[in-house]
Each structure stands twice: as C-alpha cells, then as structure tokens.
Structure 1
Amino acid sequence: MEYRSIESYGVVGNRETCALVGPDGSVDWLPFPRLSSSSVFARLLDIDVGGCFCLRPIGDFESNHDYIPDTPVLETTFRGNDGTLRLTDFMPPRAVVRSDTLTKRSLVRRVTCTESEETLSIEFHPRFDYARGETTIESVSESRTTNGHLSEGGIVGYRVTGGDQTLTLWTDADLDVSDGDATGTVTLTEGESRWFVLTEGDGPRPTREDCRRTLDATIAHWREWVGTLAGIEGANRDLLVRSALTMRLLSNAETGAIAAAPTTSLPEDVGGVRNWDYRFHWVRDSSIVARSLARLGATAAARANLNWWLSYLREHGPANEEVLFHPLYDLDALDEETAVESRPDAETVEDVDRTVELELDHLSGYRDSQPVRIGNAAREQKQIDIYGELLLSASELVEAGVTLTEEEWTGLKRVVEHVCAVWHQPDYGIWEVRSNPEQFVHSKVMCWAAVDRGITIAEGRGEPVPDHWFDARTDIHETVCEEGFREDQNAFVRSFEADQALDAACLRIPLVGFLPADDPRVQGTIDAVFDRLLVDDGLVQRYEGPDGLSGEDHAFVLCTFWLVDAMLKAGRREAAVEVLEDILGRASSLDLFAEEIDPMNGEHRGNYPLGFAHAGLVDSVLGLARDASEPVDADEPVATTRYD
C-alpha cells in the first residue's frame, strides 16, 4: 500500500468539518465533529495506523471521480472485473438536516451498482484522537435475523467509542466486527445500492428514504447558493465555482470563522520538517478569502469575518501590549460553550486551545514527513501585516455599499491607532518565518494600507482624521521606498536588512495602491520576480533567503496569482493571460489546489485544499474578465521571452 498524491483527493464538508476522499474510495482524513477536532481517520498521515473508511470493488478496478456540478458532493466511479459501482460522498449542511432522521453532523456514503454486478469491499477502521485512543465497535441494532444476516430493508447501527467520543455507523450492509474494525462484502446487482451514514453520538436511525432525501436536499442547497454568485460566467466558470465552494466549506456556518485549510502536516517538502497545522482562523487568510467571496457576490462572508475579529477584540481585548491580535485562533475561540462541549473534560476556553503546537511522534507522517504537528506556534508571533488585511476588507465592504456601525468603526480606529504605534517594529511576516524577525517590506506596505484605508473610511464618513494618521502614512511610505528598494537590483527586496533577497509578496505593492503599477520600481520588481522567482511555467517561489528551517520550499500557488494581478495592473495583460493559463492547467483533476506545487514533477505540496490559493484564483480570473474589453497595447512590456 502506497500513499496517494495529495492532489488525487477530493474534499467534502458541511461547513463544520471536512473529509478527504481518495479515488480508491477511502476516507483518509476526517477530523470530527469539527475541523479543529482530533481525527477519526488519519491514514493520510500514517498509512499503517492512521485509520480509514474504504468502499471499493473487490479485486482490480479503474476509477475516476468528479463533483456533481455546482456542489461539493463527490462521485467516484469504479470499473471492476464484472461491473461498475458509483460511490457518492457528501456531508449534509446543518440547514438541510432533519433532527428526527440524522444528527446534525454526518458523513453520508452511498454505493450503487450502475452496470451488471460487482462485489463491494467494506473496510471501516476508525482510530480516535489521531490514532492515540482505544477504539471499540459494537452492534446496536435489532434488525438482524437469527442467522446473523440483515432482515430485508434493515438498517444496522454500529456504535463506535473512543475516550469521550461516540459515533454511530448506520448501514444496510452486514459487517463483521473485530478488534475495533468492521469489515464485510456485499454483491450488488444493477440498480442496487447500499448506504453508510457515520454520525455524531447515538442519534436516530435513518431510513434509506431519509438518506435519499438528505442527498437531494444537499444538492439543492449548494446549487441555490451557487445561484447567488456573480461574475462566474465564461470559460473559467467551473473553476470559479469550485473555488467558491471550497472557500465556503472552510467558513464556519455559525461563527463566520474561516480555516486556512482542512488538513494538518501535509508537507511542503516531502520527507522534511515543513509540516504545519492549518485548521485555524488566521486574520490574514480569512480576510483574503472573505474578500474573494465578496467579489463573487457573497458579501455576507466578508462582513461576518470582519465582525468576528472586531467582536473578539471588543470582548477579549488585545492579545498583549505589543500585539492587538495573534495571527491565528481556534475556530471556536468566540464560543466558550461550543469549545468546552468539544472537550467535556475542559472548564474554560484556554483548556481547549488547540492552537498550541504539539508533535505526534507516533505517526510517521505523509510519505515519512516528520514531525506531524497539531496546533501552530505561529500563534505567538508578531505579524503586523495582518492589520492591513482587516482594513482592506472594511474598505471594500464600504465601497460595496455596506455601512459600518459605530461599534465596528470604533474597533477599526483602534486597529489603525495600533498600526501607527507599531509599524516601525520588526515582525515574522506573512510567511511566518522561524528565523529572527525582520523589517519585512510587505509588512510595512500592509501597515501603510491599514492607515491609508482608515483615512479613506474616516473621510467617507465625514469624520475628522487625526493628524498622526496622515503623518504615519507618509512616514511608512517614505521609509519603505528608502529602505526597501535596491537601485542595483531595480526591485523591492524582502526586508530592510536584505541586500538582494526577493519576496514575491512585494508584488502586492501595486495591488494595494502603495505605488502605481506603471512606477519603474514596480515594473522592476515584476521583472526581478520573473527572472529569479519564476521557477517553471506558472510557478513562483515565495522568497529568497533563510527562514530558520531546513529543506526546500516549493512554488507557492498564491504568488503566481499575485504575479498575474501585478502584470495586469502594469499593463502586461497578454503575459498575464499566459501565466494564468499555465497555473490553471496545474489544478488537480477536481480543480483543487494545495499550498504549493513541486516544479520538478508537478505534484501538489502542503495542506490541501488551501483557501489562499483559491482566493487568488478567483481574484485573477475576475480581474482578467473585467479587463477583457480593453484592447491589448501592441507595445506592452513583456518581462521575459517565456511569455512573448
């Protein structure tokens, strides 16, 4: 048994948690009941002990999978020796779940024989608490005949327990239980189906009709939401829809918190130590994702995200004297009752803080990439660029016609005041380096954006702007231009301390309005990125220079989309189109993106799917669509012959 490529997986979810399903019909990753909870299946992180839930034909087979259009409902088709099976995987959102038929958190799987006859293999191997806990399974149904087989139409329940957690697997397939595993086979003829429903707690026993109705309701729910989106026409419609759905799955239905990704410790460098837990609510990531959703018409997502941060600041105060916000938080950080509910042994939110970074030494890691980490130590870093993301979000909402409340504006003014006080300090930056803090150029530019947008919002509200806001904006701008630009490189560099090292995040300089795109310094920075950070067609590395970690950092998907956006701003539309086509061609077969791509083999690296990457896709595709009606200047500058 071998590890599958990261990009071969599909993701299903209910806006509370997500599961990753391989083309072999195996659920290899499922934190449950919430995204930041410990895992029930983690074969993705240890193929031997992690646990999985696999439904597939016995013997050899070929398979392919795809989503039901405009939904996150995944269908896998198996062509076996004798017939064809179709596996449908989904997690019904809470809005469509009837409490008398299903618990509010469920993974539902259906296998149907669509041609001839085929024998299904069932392997159910739950392993609680990242495979650290004991697992027991027992039958809890009376729908069996005396010989042990299911009565006609019977649904059997199998109670799964481990520590304080209880799940139930309801199915109309007969399983054998032994040592914490449930396995079986069933031969299906054309038109025949079997259902498998994994639910939280004991819950009601669903009927087959309950399951069919829930599937139909789930499909309708997602198609209705997609129908509210704007700007998704054209050749890239399916990519935009898939990105929108992926970002939506990462946003919590109750709180508006947005996870960076649904996975932990998928390596940036296979066999190396660059393995991180992304199942948290980042100021930066969530703001970028929310703005992209808003650009698709889902303005409520941006408003909910902004309110999450301002509510946290209002209710809990600054993290400390030097930091207004930590870079990331537990997805349940605002909801003490929910947080404690997920850990019955806990008494306070602090007791359930899953952001504390730990290493799971008992797991071998994806393709022996260790350590496997849960939690993320970047929580304790100072990252001053994050405040710019909040003000950019607020500014875009105002431009879209949203009126900020006095309470919201009071919180935003507090953020601007904080930036005025700390912008000159070093930090760990957007890439969360584990080396020493630096005076990162991108961080300063985002501080400028925070103050600039604060001034713009204040002026739009007809309020007086404090003089020191204007002074801070001017000081930041002058300092960045003096300390962050290298004439011999004709480019902005990574930090004030760096003589030559580049940072692709400097491509955001024209995107946030720090300098106009036709400024020679911006054009020079774009050229430098092409020359030194573009490592293959459509693939851009993040930065040069040390970051405190061993191993190799591969091309970062979001940086490519920033390059597309910067070139478009700079009048290089023809080149931007070619770069965009290259990166879009590197999406998975399901139109999903991980964090990074290895230019040597095209394989995806890092956590998957990444909200950052899909936000970048949406912004670039929409940006080019808006620009499409303008003629291309025949004399537009082109950075390299690669995109002539």
Structure 2
Amino acid sequence: MVSMTDSEAYPPIESYGVVGNLETCALVGPDGSIDWFPFPHLESPTIFAAILDHDRGGRFRVAPTDAFESERRYVGDTNVLETTFRTEGGTATVTDFMPPAGRVDDPKKVLYRKAACAEGRVELGVDLEPQFDYGRTEPTIEPVEDGILAAGAEERTLLEAPIDLAIEDGRVTGDLTLEAGEDAWFLLRCTGAEDASTDPEAALEETIRFWTDRAHTCGADDCTFAGPWHDEIVRSELVLKLLTHAESGAIAAAPTASLPEDVGGVRNWDYRFNWLRDAGFTVQALLNLGTTDEANDYFDWFMDLCQADEPAAIQPLYGLHGESDLEERELDHLEGYRGSRPVRIGNGAVEQRQHDVYGELLLAVDEMCRHGRTLADDEWVRIRDIVEYVRGIWTEPDAGIWEVRGGDRHFVHSKVLCWAALDRGIAIATDGDFDAPLDAWRETRAEIRTEVLERGYDEDVGAFVQSYGADALDATALLFPIVGFLPFDDDRIQGTIEAIEAELVEDDVFVSRYDGDDGLPGEEGAFVLCSCWLIDALALSGRIEEATARFETLLEYVNPVGLVAEEIDPESGAHLGNFPQAFSHIGIVNSALYLGYVRGYETPGPAPMGIRLGDPIVDLEE
C-alpha cells in the first residue's frame, strides 16, 4: 500500500505527455515527474516506473516546491513537451525532449530537461530516484565530477545539474531558484552517452526542426484531413512517428506496459511490441498522411519477418527488432497502477493462433501496391505462400483479433479476414501478372464467403455475430464492408450496424469491443478504435452528419496535448489501458480520412479502403 491516496500517488493516465527518441519513450506527468522510462529500447527494462509503483518504481521530478497549477503543450508540431507551472511567486516551464536516434547530431541517449522562469521567482525541487530493471536492481549512487552517477548491474545514468545535489536513501535531491529570464538545464545521460559532448540549446533547436520538417503539411483548402480536427490528425501522425523504431521501422502498439483496462483488475498487458494485425490500417494511415518513408520502412520490416518465418510460424506480434521470444512474466514486487495487479511484461498472445493476421498482411501489401510499390519476385513468393497457407487453415478455430484467453473459437472476423487474404491475393496477382493458382484461390474465397453467410450471420439477431453458434456481437463486424466482404447497402451489413448501435454503444460514441465472455474477470472500458470503426461505417453508409458529430464528440476525450489511450471509461471519461495507443491514433486518422472523402476532398493517392471495396452508399458528387 502507498502512504497517500491512489489519486494523489497516481495521476490520471490521460494527464501524461510523452517524449522519445525513436528508440524509447518517457512519460511525463503533470507534476513534472518522469514516471516511465524504459532504456535503451522501448521494450527494455525501466529506469523509471513510478506509474506502476509509486514507492518502488522510480522517477525523475523537476517541479516547484510551492503549490502550483500546471498545463501542458507540445512546441508546435513536434514531440518536444512543455509543462508550465504557475505559483504565487511566478511562472516556470520545464521543456522535455530527446534527440531522435540517427536523425540529428546530438547524442540520442540523453534526456534533456530545461527549466526556465518566465516571470516572478520560482523555486524548483529536483528529485531523482533511479530504479533499474523495473525496480529489481538497487543502484549505487555516488557523486562524480560532472554530477551524480547511478549504476546498476549493466545500466548507468549520469545526472548533470547546475546545482549541488544530495544523496540519501537511494534518492538524489536538490533545490534551484530561478528569476524571470533565467534558465537551467538538467541532462540525464544514459548508458553510452556519459562522455558525449552536448550543446543543450543546439540540441533543442535541432530536435524541434527535425519534428517540424516531418509533420504533415498541406494546403488549407484541399487537405483530405481538412476540418476542425486537423490539429488532432497531425498530433496522431506525430505519435505514430514517435512509436516508430529508427532502426527497424517497426511501430509499437504503445510505449507502456500493464496500464490497466480495468483499474484494480487483472486486465494489464505489455504493449511495447508490434502486432501484425495493425498492418493494413497502419499503412493506409501513413500513406495518406504522406509519410511514405515510414510506410515503406514498416512494409520492409514485416516482409522480412514473412521471409524469415514459414506462414505457419508467423506470430501475431514481434519485438521491435523482430524478436519472437516475448515470454509473459509477472512482476510480483510492483503494486501496479492504483493497485492493478498483476503487472505483466512480455505478452502471452505471442503463442496464439490468430488467422486474421494473414488478411491484415495482405491488406497492407495491396495498399502499398496501389500506392505504387512494385513487388520483387521473392516478395511475391512470400505472399503467395501466405495465401496458400490460408487456403489450408481457414476452417480451423483461432484466438481471434482480441486474443481472448478462453479457448479458440470459429471467430467470424477471422474467417472474413481469411477471405480478405484470398481476395487481395487474387487482386495483387492479377494486377501484377504474378504466377498464382487463381482458380483455386477463387474457389476457396467463394467457400469462405458461403460459410460465413450461413454460419456467421444470425437471422434472429439480425446481425453478424462474434463466433459460430454464438449470439454475442463484436465490433469487428463493422469492418466487413470496409474490407469488401459485402457492400454497405446490404441489409445484413446495415442490420449489423444497427444491432451494434443498440447493444455495444453508449452515449452515441463509446463502443465496446464485444458483449461475449473472454475468459477474464472484470470489465473494460469502451475501445477507442471501435468508436472509430463505427464512425467509418456510418460515414460510408451515407449518415455523414451523424458520423461527423460522433467524431467531434470522440475527439473531446483526447487529452489536452492530443494523446489518447486504448480505452475510455464511458462514465468518467478517464483513459484506460496503455498510453498513448497507436491503434487509437490510427483509427482517428482513418476516420478523418473517410470523413474527408465523403465530404468531397480528394485523397493524395487512390481511394482509401472501404471506398473502392465496400461500395459506400453515399453520393460523392453531392
């Protein structure tokens, strides 16, 4: 137990900001405390993890010693975060950033914190509590010539500060008073950067320039993402770029581990990996934002994985360097965010069979090809092998997209994504004149379609259900017209949308993933991505004003600096799950894309998925 109330010890998840260097990320709380920082990579053990245990996790705080109010913002269209503190005596801002790895001259393994007083006089307190390896390694802390050095078994951090610092009981503390116009730098040098030369102001300028040059820009009158949500789309793009690993091109699902989907419960997972199921919609979002380099790097990364593994060995998720061993473990010594235990690292879903993965991969390949990517012969061989594999396994049960832990089932979404794998394989082979057993593929595609319509649609429910023989609904059915399985004006699609609205939607905008049993106790919040899927389905069904209103309402729950978690509590509006969540931001980008298209804006490339495949029932000439 902690010595203060949970609300005092653990700030709301949505109150955090995030910075990073394209290898790792740090979460910065509203009180100026860095409460999460794995190093050297996102999936590495932590230096600070107070967000998972206030007492044992470790933190690095720079904040006023007097009572204060704070507000946050990013510097323009960058991932440089400012926290402004207002006290009775004055106003000071702490600026946090890390230079992007391999993209700027300054050392990538340095976390910079600049404190500057804008008016009056502000006394700042410094509190550094390094806790290496999720708090399992007690560091040695000692003064050195350039500051304070903390060392673990293999890790080292050197805090450079312009003040004298005291060491007591594993903590480093100090005070600094700034007058208006004065500033001070705190540099946390991590392993490998202890002796690197630095110019903090130059590092800040170069980091700002890096992100500014790579943020989405457009003409105000012709942007596909035009609308009152344009700034949120740019921030979502910057989040996706921040979660992209500089070396591999892989995109992490989130920078955090074990933030709860049910506060106080057991639904706590490690999301610092890449899920292949995200591929299709990720590529669509990146390409339409104009971030073609990131899309190509991501494409190359997962194609290399497909080359390394036989189709049967392809996993649902991988480490950001392609690691396949992601054993799930529990950290019993950590109490978890507001008592949410167990705290997990690694992810047991790596061992699951998820057949939808193959459809997502083919959707991504098709999207790349439609945007001008030419497949090499060896790439086509990998793709053909995947489609052939799907022909042999589509009749088998699997764990499904939501990775339920209650046993394999015949999930309807998995069957439809197997259909999509065949469908896109046929299209790619035909358009590229590649060698393929097209007649056999068409036959299997037809078999899947027939079975899904017979066993996946429930006449009594009036909708597609989650799995064969069940009456539970699942929000993944909103994707069926978008991937082209049926057109939007099909009565079964419209009935499914209506059933989901009636059973899975709360307050028009909050959408649950499903209403069936998943083998776990507790209840989760509404899934942001599913809210986006509903908005997409409504927009492409001709209900444009309604879709627009729901999208604008959803964006009201994005935090003040434009970040959103995996889920939202419909009752309180609190964010739940890992944060910020890539899939949530991908959903926001793609919803804006669809809304832009149905409102008459042209996309920079071919029509997005769902427009060309789902046969939207909107008059785009109006």
Output the TM-score relative to the length of structure 2: 0.92
- Of 222-231 and 185-194, more deviation after overlay is shown by 222-231
Spell out, residue by residue over 1:366-393, the C-alpha distance to the aligned partner (whole angstroms, 9 max, x if none).
Answer: 0000000000000000000011111111
Selected match of 1:120 from 100, 109, 124: 124
- 1:542 counterpart = 2:513: yes
Displacement of 1:21 in angstroms is: 0.4
- The match for 1:4 is 11
- 1:225 counterpart = 2:229: no
The answer (yes or no) to whether the contact 1:510–1:516 under 8 Å persists in 2 is yes
User: d(CA) in 1 for partners of 2:216 and 2:539?
Assistant: 29
- The match for 1:19 is 26
Selected match of 1:254 from 242, 247, 250: 247
Spell out, residue by residue over 1:169-209, the C-alpha distance to the aligned partner (whole angstroms, 9 max, x if none).
Answer: 222232112333211001111111111111222535577x7
3-state SS in 2 of match to 1:301: helix
Aligned pairs for 1:155-234 within 5 A: 156-201=146-191, 203=193, 210-227=199-216, 231-234=224-227
- The match for 1:489 is 461
**Unaligned stretches of 5+ residues in structure 2:** 1-7, 602-615
User: d(CA) in 2 for partners of 1:14 and 1:133?
Assistant: 25
- 1:599 counterpart = 2:570: yes
- The match for 2:328 is 357
Spell out, residue by residue over 1:254-291, the C-alpha distance to the aligned partner (whole angstroms, 9 max, x if none).
Answer: 10111100001110001100000000111112443233
- The match for 1:382 is 353
User: d(CA) in 1 for partners of 2:519 and 2:319?
Assistant: 25
- 1:275 counterpart = 2:246: no
- The match for 1:340 is none
The answer (yes or no) to whether the contact 1:259–1:286 under 8 Å persists in 2 is no
User: d(CA) in 2 for partners of 1:228 and 1:309?
Assistant: 28
- The match for 1:475 is 447
3-state SS in 2 of match to 1:246: helix
3-state SS in 1 of match to 2:303: helix
3-state SS in 1 of match to 2:481: helix
- The match for 1:420 is 391
CA change 1:329–1:59 in 2 (3 A) is: same
User: d(CA) in 1 for partners of 2:205 and 2:224?
Assistant: 26
Selected match of 1:432 from 403, 407, 412: 403
The answer (yes or no) to whether the contact 1:448–1:477 under 8 Å persists in 2 is yes
- 1:32 counterpart = 2:39: yes
Selected match of 2:232 from 228, 231, 239: 239
User: d(CA) in 2 for partners of 1:463 and 1:122?
Assistant: 63
The answer (yes or no) to whether the contact 2:224–2:597 under 8 Å persists in 1 is no
The answer (yes or no) to whether the contact 2:113–2:186 under 8 Å persists in 1 is yes
- The match for 1:511 is 482
User: d(CA) in 1 for partners of 2:54 and 2:423?
Assistant: 50
CA change 1:251–1:487 in 2 (3 A) is: same
Spell out, residue by residue over 1:142-175, the C-alpha distance to the aligned partner (whole angstroms, 9 max, x if none).
Answer: xxxxxxxxxxxxxx33222111111222222321
Displacement of 1:592 in angstroms is: 1.0
**Unaligned stretches of 5+ residues in structure 1:** 142-155, 335-349, 631-635, 639-644
The answer (yes or no) to whether the contact 1:113–1:191 under 8 Å persists in 2 is yes
- The match for 2:82 is 75
CA change 1:196–1:452 in 2 (3 A) is: same
3-state SS in 2 of match to 1:602: coil
3-state SS in 2 of match to 1:111: strand
Displacement of 1:497 in angstroms is: 2.6
User: d(CA) in 1 for partners of 2:491 and 2:39?
Assistant: 51
- The match for 2:611 is none
User: d(CA) in 2 for partners of 1:539 and 1:367?
Assistant: 24
User: d(CA) in 2 for partners of 1:474 and 1:412?
Assistant: 20
- The match for 2:284 is 291
User: d(CA) in 2 for partners of 1:549 and 1:227?
Assistant: 40
The answer (yes or no) to whether the contact 2:279–2:361 under 8 Å persists in 1 is no
CA change 1:318–1:615 in 2 (3 A) is: same
- Of 578-587 and 519-528, more deviation after overlay is shown by 578-587
Residue identity in the other structure for 2:486: L
- The match for 1:642 is none
Residue identity in the other structure for 2:441: W
3-state SS in 2 of match to 1:116: strand
- 1:308 counterpart = 2:297: no
Spell out, residue by residue over 1:505-547, the C-alpha distance to the aligned partner (whole angstroms, 9 max, x if none).
Answer: 0100011010000000000000001100002231000001110
CA change 1:124–1:109 in 2 (3 A) is: same
User: d(CA) in 2 for partners of 1:205 and 1:78?
Assistant: 32
Residue identity in the other structure for 1:179: D
The answer (yes or no) to whether the contact 1:57–1:119 under 8 Å persists in 2 is yes
The answer (yes or no) to whether the contact 1:445–1:509 under 8 Å persists in 2 is yes
- The match for 2:557 is 586
Displacement of 1:81 in angstroms is: 2.3
- 1:326 counterpart = 2:319: no
The answer (yes or no) to whether the contact 1:63–1:78 under 8 Å persists in 2 is yes
Aligned pairs for 1:518-537 within 5 A: 518-537=489-508
Displacement of 1:591 in angstroms is: 1.4
Output the TM-score relative to the length of structure 1: 0.89
Displacement of 1:232 in angstroms is: 4.5
- 1:620 counterpart = 2:610: no
Aligned pairs for 1:49-128 within 5 A: 49-98=56-105, 102-128=106-132
Spell out, residue by residue over 1:219-277, the C-alpha distance to the aligned partner (whole angstroms, 9 max, x if none).
Answer: 00001001567745442221011100001111111101111000011100011000000
The answer (yes or no) to whether the contact 1:266–1:275 under 8 Å persists in 2 is yes
CA change 1:303–1:625 in 2 (3 A) is: same
Spell out, residue by residue over 1:605-639, the C-alpha distance to the aligned partner (whole angstroms, 9 max, x if none).
Answer: 00001000000000001110111139xxxxx999x
User: d(CA) in 1 for partners of 2:236 and 2:456?
Assistant: 34
User: d(CA) in 2 for partners of 1:58 and 1:23?
Assistant: 14
Residue identity in the other structure for 1:448: W
The answer (yes or no) to whether the contact 1:434–1:549 under 8 Å persists in 2 is yes
User: d(CA) in 2 for partners of 1:605 and 1:307?
Assistant: 32
The answer (yes or no) to whether the contact 1:507–1:526 under 8 Å persists in 2 is yes
The answer (yes or no) to whether the contact 2:123–2:175 under 8 Å persists in 1 is yes
CA change 1:637–1:527 in 2 (3 A) is: farther
User: d(CA) in 2 for partners of 1:92 and 1:286?
Assistant: 27
The answer (yes or no) to whether the contact 2:104–2:210 under 8 Å persists in 1 is no
Spell out, residue by residue over 1:346-374, the C-alpha distance to the aligned partner (whole angstroms, 9 max, x if none).
Answer: xxxx8xx4x10000000000000000000
